[in-house]
Amino acid sequence: MKQNPLLDLSGLPKFDLILPEHIEPAVDHILARNRQQIGRLVRDIKSPSWNNFMAVVEQLEDDLERVWAPVSHLNSVRDTPELRQAYQVCLPKLTDYATEMGQNKALFKKVIEIRDSDEFHRLDQSKRKVIDNAIRDFRLSGIDLAPDKQIRYREVSSELSSLGNQFSQNLLDATDAWHVDVDDEQGVSGIPQNALDLARKAAEEAGATGWRFSLQAPSYLAVITYADDRMLREKMYRAYVTRASEVGPDGGKWDNSEIIDQILRLRREQAALLGYENFAALSLETKMAGSSLEVFAFLDQLSKKSKKLGEKEVTELENFAAENLGFDALAPWDYAYVSEKLRQYLYDFSQEALRPYFPLPKVLQGMFEIVGKLFEIRVEASKPPQLWNPDVKFFKVLDFEETIRGYFYVDLYSRKHKRGGAWMADCMGRRLTSEGLQLPVAFLTCNFSAPVEGQPSLLTHEEVITLFHEFGHGLHHMLTKIEVSGVAGIQGVPWDAVELPSQFLENWCWERQALDLISGHVETGESLPQSLLIKMRKAKNFQSAMQMCRQIEFSLFDMRLHTSYDPDGESTVQEQLNQVRSQVAVVKAPAFNRFQHSFGHIFAGGYAAGYYSYKWAEVLSADAYSLFEEKGIFDPFTGRSFLENILEKGGSEEPMVLFEAFRGRKPNVDALLRHSGLSPLEEAA
């Protein structure tokens, strides 16, 4: 198998050599080897210890992860029919293996022996946490189930993995398939030049005339926010909110309806097999929140703080549209457009006006300088390894002693056959091996507009925030000092705490000292003028209550689906969403809106019964940042404390313990409400 590039684990992945035909043989090989080695381990090791047992299991699992990580990444950023087929074939094999290991009683017995041994108390905190987590995960994998129920648990897990992948592929296909061409200049009135250049390029590449707009985020957002042509906005909106559903222009072609019901049905069955009342209770076993009641109370608290103000913001928007734009009533495809007009009216600037000040190369370099000041590190370009796309960049992170802490790939431009959104993913994790220290490597992925005609990509301020957010995740992964992979970096961190470093880093995008580093006009090099910054800050909480209500809507919908919804009952998923909207939404969605069909976070990602995590972690991040507001945004002592107590510790301790070590107390919601402009609002009676 030496000729298979996926099995060459001597260094970074050989992306330009990996072919779809390599995937299944590599996965088969590594799974067979792992099964054989683990069988030998549990048979031959009579007195298991960390070194003779856990460290060997960790090595086997890391080898598997290093084989699969580049495949999973390529599936997200360079989708082809052949790669998709190979990926889909391997998913059930990997799920079956994971469940099989989780139900391996001999393996479980050895881990229990280590936990009950004298050695356990001499192990460091990170290794004890790995063992405790492993025992918990054995139980969550059905180790205590009767044989027939274990078999059913495996079947359910495998089917869920395949369904999640199919959901994601349907969404990608539906997004890629649709476009609209516009031939006359009047039809593109209002759309920023940056977006028009991209649309012109897309039309030319397709052999069409005029401008071609797609459902890729940079194209869709430009039209829905700026296009004066109301019919064009409506056409784009209808296509976007009905993707992968039974309605809309491609209705029924990539329909996720049955997949959604089947996923919810199987999750419900999985929870019942393990003895949980519902899937939310199962999901919360590995999170900070103690119960669904606690999550519902948290969301209710935020809703009370934001709904009245959200309704006031909607009324303000409607009045402005009637008085200044001649709208009798606002349609769903008008809200973003009118909101931008109102923002410009109130604050005399638009996101598009900021683009020239945020050329991507300047933003990247400035971001690296900011984290350098905060955490005494240095980011510099590294000799690029083999890449999957010529636009990808590669960097290394060094500390003040010039020790390399990690590496990361950066893939920032939107393109066809690349999953939408932004994310950070592991390529390799930090761990101490028999051959030395394996350094962490991250994938940093966004979907910004690509450069056009020699100009660099120009970002809106919102896109700058997105970049900082994902880099915050990357720093969590790369700056860890934990040397066992199960709790190094983001591994082992509860899902509702994992957004802390990412949301935390966003705060520097609003600070004068930081903006001087990340901004520089594309033509003059001038940093963002103070006059624009003042307007930005005044507009920071523009419609923040509306946005808060929308996030609560998503979170509440997710929790309702995974607590009380019965896929085989009389109610439908759409009716569940409608009920949630009637309770917390301040903007009425049209009947044809099928948001759930593209809700990849909960149906194809890790956020099932966990979407509330964004707001939960935002409480932590806002409160953590408030200490920098007190001490100074580049205070070296505070920066070092965050590095040492949060970033370097990874998942080695409970997040509340780490937060209290940094902040000196438990978190409270006050900083989040203040940052969101919601603190003056009294709670509803």
Catalytic amino acids? 470
Q: What dihedral angle (degrees, nearest 10) is formed by the CA atoms of 579, 584, 589, 591?
A: 10
**CB count in 10 Å sphere of residue 65:** 17
**Residue 674, amino acid:** R
Distance CA 680, CA 677 (A): 7
Q: Which two tokens stand for residue 539?
A: 């507009």
C-alpha to C-alpha distance for 379 and 399, rounded to whole angstroms: 9
Cβ distance 365 to 410 under 8 Å? Answer: no
* Four-point Cα dihedral 496, 501, 503, 504, nearest 10: 130
Q: What are the DSSP calls for 24-82, one per residue?
A: HHHHHHHHHHHHHHHHHHHHH-SS--IIIIIHHHHHHHHHHHHHHHHHHHHHHHS--HH
Q: Which two tokens stand for residue 628?
A: 């920098």
- 195 touches 219 (CB < 8 A): yes
Contacts of 527 (CB under 8 A, 6+ apart): 357, 515, 516, 519, 520, 521
Closest CA to 75 of 66, 64, 85, 61: 85
Q: Is-contact 574 547, C-beta < 8 A?
A: no
SS3 content of the chain, % helix, strand, coil (to 5): 60, 10, 30
Q: Give the H/E segment covering residue 438.
A: strand 436-438
Please tell me what DSSP assigns to residue 458: B
8 A C-beta contact, residue 394 and residue 42: no
Q: Which long-range contacts (CB under 8 A, 24 or more apart) does 46-50 make?
A: 47/113, 48/110, 48/111, 48/113, 48/114, 48/117, 49/114, 49/117, 49/119, 50/114, 50/119, 50/123, 50/127
Burial of 171 (0-12, 13-18, 19+ CB in 10 A): buried
